[in-house]
Structure 1
Amino acid sequence: MFTVKSFDVENPVLTSLRGLVHANPQLTLIESDKVVIRKSSKDKVSVLSGGGAGHEPTHAGFIGKGCLTGAISGEIFASPSTKQIINGVKVVHDNGSKGVLLIVKNYTGDVLHFGLASERAKSTGIDTEVVVIGDDVAVGRSKGGLVGRRAIAGTLFVHKTVGAFAEYYPSHTLNLDHAKVPGHPFESELKSDQMELGMGIHNEPGVKILSPIPSAEELIKLQILPKLLDQSDKDRAFVEFDSSDEVALLVNNLGGVSNLILSAITEITTKLLKSEYGITPIRTYQGTMMTALNGEGFSITLLNISRASKSFTEVPIIDLLDAETDAPGWPVKKFVDDAPKYNKSLLEVHSTVVKPVGTYDAKHFQKWFQAGADALIKAEPYITKLDTQVGDGDCGTTLVSGGEGITKNFDSIPTETLSQALDKISDLVETYMGGTSGGLYSIFISGLSQGLISQGADQDTPVDSKLFGQALETALDTLYKYTRARVGDSTVIDALEPFVKEFSKSHDLKQAVDAADKGAKSTGTFEAKFGRASYVGESSNVPDPGAIGLVEFLKGVATEF
């Protein structure tokens, strides 16, 4: 036996998933997409979840009968790509599911990529819906703003209850230290006499630093439970609890707390719930269920079963919690050596068949796009400079990567119809750009393709400015299904919406680019409400890099139009 604080593993995510399947032979790993599945229940809705790795046993550890059907893993703290997600959807659908529900935690990348996957799946005839979870009371209404609350361990109650229903018929976090990503030391560690209250599961800073570190009883009594239960705190009072309510308690290890201490925390919490609030949980769950890698901390989640049952009357919530499951991450397990098979042809790159609509001049289109990509390359240093002030410094290179991913793959883009060309471009953008920007643009361009189709045009209809303007409006509406950002929030939307509205009205590219330029410049006059810029102290004097990048691309296109 040996002990280590941390050590590196080559390709840790895929290696971990392989180990999980070795220990649970009822599961199948699709290595190419980091998708883990169990045998689907015929003619029932499949429930898929996923997100960045580093939260094990969430998500793959909750795959089992009466819980999840499958899970899709990204790299550490990074959303899986749309390709990974849609391949997971296709596999479970092919195994007999009547529909697929995607459970998504409220983080921008996850919402965008799962949303785009849902839209693409729908276009192929797979009934797919998305539900977004946000349960973190550490993020109050004023701080959460339009972004909303983060999702943490409360997601597990959703996995279990929704999974059980499909099969058979609020949260707070604290940390003594940040998680350690393998091979990457965290740059700002807490002092030995400090702890953070309200950390996120992706190493986001806490809402408060406590020093000196209080006792566990003081911490839970004075800091955690009031944020969960104090109805006078109007910023965080999301769910009412009464002493007569049936309540479930979940005490979750973020990865670095010993079992001894975690059990003590469960006892202290149970005692304080009774003495301070008159609440006696009827179900208590304890363990390492949603981690932040090896984060030295824990979270406490309360589920008001009584109130939840009033909103969902088909089956008692307690019955769903108690329903049998063999998910490795849930206390009740059942060994089944019956892993499903899958059709490997479903995993072929971009196998979606899109209705061919709208003829276009492919040579001119490529010329315009090349000009836009060249403009992005020229503007990259300026965009990067802006992003180092309000983001993480990669906006310029990300946009360039997306542009080059398209221009270097012109030969793979269909030339017969614009709907097919745009669908392929959406795929290239998501592949080469990645991140939140990739998700946003990929959804928008996919919506543009669907917009052409929805106008009732056919394969031989030339795409003119009127038809394209109508498709732009559809694309913007599609994007708005998956982001709450709007004009005035200091995002790329401040440039994109004016461009779409003006072109749809005037059918004049120059006027539309001018409108986008005006909107992008305006972002340097107000605070950002989305993205990393929304978390920095002052961003009102810096224009949004993403909005500026879009305008530079459009200006480049205009030079050759």
Structure 2
Amino acid sequence: GLVACNAGLRLLQGHRVVLRADLVAIRGRVALLSGGGSGHEPAHAGYIGKGMLTGVVAGAVFTSPAVGSILAAIRAVTQAGAAGTLLIVKNYTGDRLNFGLALERARAEGADVRMVVVGDDSAFAAPKKAGRRGLCGTVLIHKVAGALAEAGASLNEIVKRVSAAAKAMGTLGLSLSPCSVPGSKPTFQLANDEMELGLGIHGEAGVRRMKVSGAPHFLSLLGSPPSSGSHSAPYPAGASVVLVVNNLGGLSCLELGIVAGAAVRSLERRGIRIARALVGSFMTALEMAGVSLTLLLVDEELVGLIDAETTAMAWPNLTMAPATSQRQEVLAPKEGPGTTQREPSTGTGPSAARVQQVLERVCSTLLDMQDELNQLDREAGDGDCGHTHARAARAVSPAWVMTGPVSRQLYGLFLTAAAQPLLNHDDLPTWADAMDAGIEAMQRYGGAAPGDRTMLDSLCAAAQALHGLRSPGATLLPVLATAVESAEAAAEATRTMEAGAGRASYIRATGPWAPPAAALVVMGDVAAHPMYPQ
């Protein structure tokens, strides 16, 4: 799929290998090959291009690539005229063995091949015999090596420079969920209120399990940024770093942004300068709802290599400037000369007590119905209607401020428009005018009408009853009682209606659904893919 959608990539026939389409461009330059198990997309093939990798070798999900395919990739770049080949490998036993065996066979054929093993995991207090696992920091090594190769650096120089960079880098991961290899069960179990700290990228459990907490608490657990050089001492105040906030697969962009903001503020408090910040999905673990943080200690020259141009599709279009939480804000415009300031009501009029009683009753009713409203909303929307109205009830203040999504705008439109007729009059007929004005505004901006199975069905029925206030000698309470009965009857009548507006209009009411023929063809192809054995 990646090759089909990117003209700059080519498959190596007979192998799960992707190469640059312009292999002729690497003649006289060092070729860079990397790879590993699938399931880490956009790694590794997303980093192929001018200024990054020459090619990658993919294994099955979370499985090291075949030796024969690695050797085939080395032969391909060697025959294209590369001035040596560097294998960039994450520190996992299978990858080290398979890439190492391919390297030895290639050397036996006369190829000039070297290998750099990246181990940036900072979860352990001290390296185990196997060494630190290779994590998202490997992507930064791809970038540094790619910039050096594009500039014409020798194989020995690239090995020396990227080896030094790898020692000045650390990564720590955190997840709210495990992941599942297609056709298998989750790789580990987490309770709903737990999160896993210090985990790898293959679904393996981490080094510590704790209760779910916010991003600032997670960052405080680090104690200090991921370790530099020896992986034992924190970066000193005044140090300059590149920060990578990496989505492990299932985190939303919103959550990723929260972590990124917290990370920037945390580093700033420690006196660390963030020369560059990368935020996104760089090296994932299938659908794992987690995040990893990588720090690379940099100098001006290393930052220049990070900034160097690349055509790799997964490398972000970085702003060549430091990250900071102290950017100057745009000043908010002042109110125009025609803006009218109204004094807030003191709430001491003769009807103030009754208004307060009504509001208290409305709020208590909304709080009692929270679960019921949520359940109703799940049938046609996102299931937050009860929460929204409960927040509104709790937030009612002397200013009667409401919070919430679509309902907030509808109520705001209604009340703002309804208030206009009441500014200078307070007689009974004006209250009917206010109801009409509010409904008209809702229809104008919301696009719904009576009969569309929305709140307008009840409101319009109530408004019709309130027109009785315009009759000579009308009194408030009987007309209000009639309005309530009319609204309830209209709400009940919506049971048999088909929704014509709002979220419910997208939900199938009755009868079977038939997808377009083209959709059936595509879905059939996807379902037949070998990754989905079930």
Q: TM-score range by the shorter chain?
A: 0.5 to 0.7
Aligned residues: 298
Spell out the pairing of 1:401-440 with structure 2 (5 A cutoff): none
In structure 1, the residue matched to 2:200 is 200
> 2:273 aligns to what SS in structure 1?
coil
Secondary structure at the aligned position of 1:130 is classed as strand
- Separation (CA, whole Å) in 2 of partners of 1:225 and 1:33: 45
Is this contact kept in 2: 1:67–1:159, CA < 8 A? yes
Identity rate of aligned residues, in percent? 42
8 A contact 1:270–1:280 mirrored in 2: no
Instruction: Determine which of 52, 56, 60 is the counterpart of 1:67.
Output: 52
1:179 equivalent to 2:218? Answer: no
Distance 2:252 2:119 in 1: 27
Equivalent residues of 1:138, 1:227 under 8 A apart: no
Check whether the contact 1:51–1:78 (CA below 8 A) recurs between aligned residues.
yes
Shift of 1:241: 1.4
Aligned-pair distance for 1:247?
0.9
Q: Give, in whole Å, the separation in 2 of the partners of 1:59 and 1:318.
A: 22
Query: SS in structure 1 opposite 2:18?
Result: strand
2:226–2:234 contact (8 Å) kept in structure 1: no
CA pair 111-136 structure 1, distance change in 2 beyond 3 A: same
TM-score by length of 1: 0.51
- Pairing partner for 1:153 from 132, 136, 141: 136
- Match for 2:245 among 229, 251, 257? 251
Separation in structure 2 between the aligned mates of residue 147 and residue 87 of structure 1, nearest angstrom: 28
Q: Report the alpha carbon displacement of residue 274 of structure 1 after superposing the two structures with TM.
A: 0.7
Query: How far 1:210 sits from its partner (Å)?
Result: 0.5
Match of 2:146 among 145, 163, 171: 163
Q: Distance in 1 between matches of 2:124 and 2:13?
A: 36
Alignment-derived partner of residue 123 in structure 1:
108
Answer yes or no: is the 8 Å Cα contact 2:248–2:287 preserved in 1.
yes
Amino acid at match of 1:318: V
SS in 2 for 1:162: helix
Question: Does 2:46 align with 1:46?
Answer: no
**Residues 187 and 204, structure 2, Cα contact 8 Å, conserved in 1:** no
TM-aligned CA deviation for residue 270 of structure 1: 0.1
Contact 1:201 1:292 in 2 (8 A): yes
Aligned to 2:217: 218
Question: Residue 242 of structure 2: SS of its match in structure 1?
Answer: strand
Distance 2:146 2:203 in 1: 28
- Distance (whole Å) between structure 2 residues aligned to residue 122 and residue 140 of structure 1: 37
Structure-1 separation of matches of 2:56 and 2:317: 19
> CA separation in 2, counterparts of 1:287 and 1:153?
11
Structure (1 or 2) with the larger CA radius of gyration: 2
Change in 2 beyond 3 A, CA 1:105/1:270: same
2: CA distance, partners of 1:252 / 1:124: 39
CA contact 1:256–1:297 (8 Å) conserved in 2: yes
**Distance apart, 1:179 and its partner CA:** 1.2
1:103 to 81, 88, 103: 88
Name the SS of the counterpart of 1:281 in structure 2.
strand
Q: What displacement does 1:61 show?
A: 0.6
Q: Which amino acid in structure 1 is aligned with residue 298 of structure 2?
A: I
Tell me: CA distance 1:183–1:304, structure 2 relative to 1, closer, same or farther (3 Å): same
Q: Which has the higher contact order (CA 8 A, sep 6+)?
A: 1
Cα deviation for residue 175 of structure 1 reads 0.8
Query: C-alpha separation between the residues in 2 aligned to 1:261 and 1:225?
Result: 22
- For 2:326, the equivalent position in structure 1 comes to none
- Whole-angstrom CA distance in 2 between matches of 1:238 and 1:163: 29
Q: Write the distance in 1 (CA, Å) between the matches of 2:232 and 2:78.
A: 36
Contact 2:67 2:99 in 1 (8 A): yes
Give the Cα–Cα distance (whole angstroms) in 1 for the partners of residues 124 and 57 of structure 2. Answer: 26
Structure number with the higher helix fraction is 1
Query: Unpaired segments of 5 or more residues in structure 2?
Result: 153-169, 319-534
User: 1:37: Cα distance to partner?
Assistant: 0.5
1:3-22 correspondence to structure 2 within 5 Å? 19-22=1-4
* 2:123 match: 138
Q: Does 1:28 align with 2:4?
A: no
CA contact (8 A) 1:137 1:238 kept: no
Question: Aligned partner of 1:166: which letter?
Answer: A
**TM-score, normalised on structure 2?**
0.54
* SS of equivalent to 1:102: strand
| Distance in 1 of aligned mates of 2:235 and 2:116 | 24
Cross-structure match for 1:419: none
Contact kept? 2:118, 2:134, Cα under 8 Å: yes
Match of 1:328 among 291, 310, 313: 313
- Contact 1:140–1:149, Cα closer than 8 Å, also in 2: no
Inter-partner Cα distance in structure 1 for 2:104 and 2:61: 25
String of CA shifts for 1:205-224, please: whole Å, max 9, x gaps: 1100002x111111112x13
Residue number among 283, 298, 311 corresponding to 1:305 in the alignment:
298
| Paired residue type of 2:297 | N
**2:289 corresponding residue in structure 1:** 296
